[in-house]
Amino acid sequence: MSYNIDSIEYVEGTGPLSMHHSVRLDLATALADRLPEGCFLTNDNCVGARHSSGMEAIIHPSWTDECSGSAFDHLKEALTRTLGRADLVICWEGGDRYSGLRVCNGVVTERVVVMSLGEVRS
């Protein structure tokens, strides 16, 4: 049984990433039997409206549910095909572990996640 991903969120002030529609479909086809159930490559609700250039904003970088943990390398592979800059915080199953990915025009680096409290909420 794999350790799955509960959620992926953009760090405030970063993202969204974008990907060409044809690239997203090609990746979804190439990785079809290795993708998690909740995946931005296959779920049109995770992307914004398609621009005339074919680019789509990845509004929800979803990579969750069954097989998401074992397909983590495929997530990183898919992110190499994106444009833009974003920091992503990955919450693993049960919320007992967090990972971070920084993506900058397709360059993906794993980062340590450091959490802190911000300003007082009024």
pTM: 0.90
Answer yes or no: is pLDDT of 1 > 70.
no
pLDDT exceeding 90 applies to what percent of the chain?
80
Of residues 4, 6, 7, 10, the one with CA closest to residue 101: 10
Measured between alpha carbons, how far is 23 from 81 in angstroms, rounded to an integer? 8
Q: What pLDDT, in 10s, does the model give residues 47-91?
A: 999 999 999 999 999 999 988 999 999 999 999 999 999 999 999
- Provide the phi-psi class of 99: left if phi over 0, else alpha when psi is between -120 and 50, else beta: beta
Residue 48: partners with Cβ closer than 8 Å, 6 or more residues away: 16, 56, 57, 58, 59
pLDDT at 117: 87
